[in-house]
Amino acid sequence: MIVNTRPVDLGQKTNLLLQKFKCNFVHLPLTKILKIKPAAQAIQNITNLSNYDLLIFTSQSAVTYGAKYCQKSFQQDARIPILAIGRATQESLKKFNLPSKTPSTFDSEGLAEVIKQKGYKKCMLFCGEKKPRILSLSDIEIDTFPCYASQEEDKIDLLKIQGQDKLVFLIYTQQTLEVLMRQLSVNTIQKIILIVASKRIKELAIQHGFKKCILANSPHDEEMVEAALAVY
């Protein structure tokens, strides 16, 4: 059985892909996304977009809950480039008529490399409430616009996967991995297969006793599902 662990509002595309291939799967969200009210300073910064030479969106949720704040200002100053961390984030931005580009690698390191190559000096970062990793990878001035929170699901029904001989978990974030570790016994952790979205997640998983951990070719849904089907 393949286990889709993405939040309810982000997991539907993965579900459709799994349905397409007619495989045995279950959607078991381990985290949930909650809208939060941006800080007053962040709101004030948004009203002066001309102060920035780059806007960055770190996730689909950052677009869902943050793009509306800058949409009007961006239309008045469309010269400001926008960087999306991946294809799904880029597609979400299109819904707000906000054109964007993506880094060559769909992660924080990729974002940092673009900043370095282009020589950007100051950017606005749309993100979740947790400190974004890009802040430790770049020394330019970065103002954050936290607009959502990712939290552990209140009720995780492990009965959905009980009795399965083979379990393949799709793990997109470090937080999801941490939730999974708290939910499973050591014995189960050593038996299941993980399909992970980044090298950093794979390294952490191995450190915590996961024996079978496969890095997908990219963190996008298509490549994650492809990697799962290869071992399913």
Domain containing residue 6: CATH number: 3.40.50.10090
70 — pLDDT class (breaks 50, 70, 90) = confident
Q: Which residues are registered as beta bridge partners of 2?
A: 25, 168
What is the per-residue pLDDT across 137-168, written as a single tens digit (0 to 9) for each? 999 999 999 999 999 999 999 999 998 989 99
DSSP state, 130? S
| Average pLDDT over every residue of 205-210 | 95
Q: With pLDDT > 70 as the criterion, what percentage of the chain qualifies?
A: 98
> Do 132 and 52 share a structural domain?
yes
- In three-state secondary structure terms, 195 is strand
What is the per-residue pLDDT across 83-124, written as a single tens digit (0 to 9) for each? 999 999 999 999 999 999 999 999 999 999 999 999 999 999
| Average pLDDT over every residue of 190-209 | 96
> Do 157 and 144 share a structural domain?
no
> Do 157 and 106 share a structural domain?
no
Q: pTM for this one? A: 0.93
> Do 105 and 131 share a structural domain?
yes
> Do 102 and 116 share a structural domain?
yes
Whether the per-residue pLDDT at 78 is higher than 70: the answer is no
| Average pLDDT over every residue of 55-67 | 97
What angle, rounded to 10 degrees, do the helices at 60-76 and 87-94 form?
50
Pairing between β-strand 31-35 and β-strand 141-152 as defined by DSSP bridges = antiparallel
* pLDDT score for 77: 63
Is the separation of the CB atoms in 172 and 219 below 8 Å?
yes
> Do 44 and 145 share a structural domain?
yes
Q: Which two tokens stand for residue 127?
A: 């993100």
Domain count, the chain: 2
Q: Which domain holds residue 220?
A: 2-30+153-231
| Average pLDDT over every residue of 171-183 | 97
